[in-house]
Amino acid sequence: MSTFIRQIWQGDFAPGVSPTVNTPELRKLLALQERHRTALLNTLNPQQTEIFEKYEDAEKESDCLTAEDAFTEGIRFALRLMTEALG
């Protein structure tokens, strides 16, 4: 078993846990997103804040599932490509 496969199996390598793209553009967008989120939360009453937080939780969960699916499809693509190249 290769070292990389062992890392995946043991959970040492988890794609998507930390962003690999760390560009000024991404940092700017994340700061903008947080500024707007804070401004929005300051305008909401407690009930609206609770609904918004539930929405954010659901969005994060769906993002995780989408990222997992993209990773799985990427692995399938890479394996098919390697199989064809070696075949």
Whether 77 is in a domain gets the answer: yes
C-beta separation of 52 from 39 below 8 A: no
Q: Give the domain extent around 75.
A: 46-87
- pLDDT tens digits for range 38-81: 999 999 999 999 999 999 999 999 998 998 888 889 888 988 98
Task: Quote the pLDDT of residue 16.
Answer: 59
Crossing angle (nearest 10°) for helices 46-86 and 24-43: 150
Whether 20 is in a domain gets the answer: no
Say if pTM beats, i.e. exceeds, 0.75.
no
Task: Quote the pLDDT of residue 87.
Answer: 77
Whether 29 is in a domain gets the answer: no
CA pair distance 20, 36, nearest whole angstrom: 24
Average pLDDT estimate for 5-25:
71
Whether 5 is in a domain gets the answer: no
Kindly tell me the sign of the dihedral angle through the C-alpha atoms of 24, 28, 30, 34: positive
Taking 70 as the threshold, does the pLDDT of residue 20 lie above it?
Answer: no
Domain count, the chain: 1
Residues 6+ apart with CB under 8 A from 1: 9
Average pLDDT estimate for 30-44:
96
